[in-house]
Amino acid sequence: MVELRLTNTRTRGKEPFRPIDPANVRLYLCGPTVYDRAHLGNARPVVVIDVLVRLLRHVYGADHVTYVRNFTDVDDKINATALARQQEGAPGSLEDLIRQRTEETIGWYHADMDALGAARPDHEPRATDYIPQMIAMIQTLIDGGHAYARDGHVLFRVRSYADYGKLSGRSVDDMIAGARVEVAPFKEDPMDFVLWKPSDAELPGWDSPWGRGRPGWHIECSAMSLELLGESFDIHAGGIDLQFPHHENEIAQSCCAHPHGEFARVWLHNEMLQVEGKKMSKSLGNFFTVRDLLDQGIPGEVIRFVLLSTHYRKPMDWTAEKAREAEAVLRKWRGLTAGTDPAPSPSAAVIAALADDLNTAGAIAALHDLAGKGDGAGLLASARLLGLLGEDLGGWAQAPDLSAWAARLDDLRVAAKASKDFSAVDALKAALLSAGAEVRMGPAGVELVPGPDFDAAKLPQ
């Protein structure tokens, strides 16, 4: 069996991956808060973990992997969006408008991630469906002395967990000195964080032993992962921006509520995304969603290729040039594999690269080698392990039919040979080249091949 090695954020080292149960490898990825469209940075962990899940299923068996990715559908930003709609005159109660917004946003998310070739997880729990489990876990923490109720709030007592800070590598006192923490009269310690907070009459809420309220963000993932994956599971993943405080708090809650479990053995964090060398932000005007790129005509497969071209533990820079290069490569590879059946298994070089801490950049280099050797079958099987060259993502690369234009150019060429006036030939050839077509003229006739930048709208009318 292939040995996988993954970099564990918690131990800060690359380790052999040893699943708790090889017959059921379990993985949890923190999913989106569903109040708006997913931006490109949100897509990176989804695509990275999609490749990891494909690799795990290749190694351990398609039915031996359980993949969970949640939806946070109770959140102050969601409430604010729904309240704004209500104030603008939208019909229905606030709860109705919140539900409409979350349903709408989940639909957007599915459509956008589907366009990137990311398979749906085995489970997609919604936080609002697991409120009883959250309340039960909070009560367990209170009973164990790890949490306390105060003024309708329940807070986790951070100093009750001796290992707090190990994931991010900082002590509690250092965190207080170097970070902005919310100081509130109901807190025993500035670092204590909310497990439950009160809801007024206008906000969504649920009955609890501490009054009507709603859960804090961190308790949601702890409760959902416990319910679906158990007290101990193999991999917990997400963006590096979630390392602290979200993942640090998840560990504290889960390990204190269930001290006999390990929670997650391996923590995988992908680095942040930049755009043209700068941090993506609305203030810089370089913030865009996945849908923005798709609507600009950039195929989902191209976006996926660019995201995988950089190792997940390195910052990734999205550039227009990278997208153009990716499209050219994918067109070439799709041409090479057209009409070809995939090899029985991916190439050893591609598997070895992915098994080495999910080195997708190295795997793509191996795909280039296969293409250079003309191994279409091997290229197809290996690319599909990365979620590339699948039939579901190939519609964008269907070559347009340029046979009529080829025949027209050939007729002009025949006439020009007789008249010795090649101006019409040169004019049409220039127009075709300007549209992005490659013009091949030989004794057998004229062949037109659409290039990576081909635009049918630029063809002469």
Question: Cα separation of 115 and 110, whole Å?
Answer: 8
- The one-character DSSP state at 205 is -
- The one-character DSSP state at 267 is E
Instruction: Answer whether 367's CB lies under 8 Å from 350's CB.
Output: yes
What values do phi and psi take at 449, rounded to 5?
-120, 120
> Which residues on neighbouring strands pair with residue 441, listed in sequence order?
446
CB atoms within 10 A of CB 418: 7
What are 240's two structure tokens? 């590096």
Instruction: Answer whether 233's CB lies under 8 Å from 26's CB.
Output: yes
Q: Work out the burial of residue 420: count CB atoms within 10 Å of its CB; fewer than 13 is exposed, 13-18 middle, 19 or more buried.
A: exposed
Q: Is residue 282 part of an annotated ligand binding site?
A: yes
Question: Cα separation of 251 and 97, whole Å?
Answer: 33
Instruction: Answer whether 371's CB lies under 8 Å from 406's CB.
Output: no
With tokens 């067109």, the residue in question is 331
User: Closest by alpha carbon to 440, among 432, 448, 431?
Assistant: 448
Question: Cα separation of 26 and 63, whole Å?
Answer: 11
283 half-sphere exposure, CB direction, 13 A CA radius: 2
Question: Cα separation of 367 and 375, whole Å?
Answer: 10
Bridge-based pairing state of the strands 153-156 and 193-198: antiparallel
- Region class of 88: left (phi > 0), else alpha (psi between -120 and 50), else beta: alpha
What are 252's two structure tokens? 């504290």
Q: Is residue 221 part of an annotated ligand binding site?
A: yes
How many residues can be counted in the chain?
461
- The one-character DSSP state at 2 is P
Q: Is residue 256 part of an annotated ligand binding site?
A: no
User: Closest by alpha carbon to 193, among 208, 169, 215?
Assistant: 215
What are 82's two structure tokens? 């729904």
Instruction: Answer whether 138's CB lies under 8 Å from 219's CB.
Output: yes
Q: Is residue 246 part of an annotated ligand binding site?
A: yes
CB atoms within 10 A of CB 235: 24
Annotated binding site: 30, 221, 246, 250, 282
Annotated binding site for Zn(2+): 30, 221, 246, 250
Annotated binding site for ATP: 282
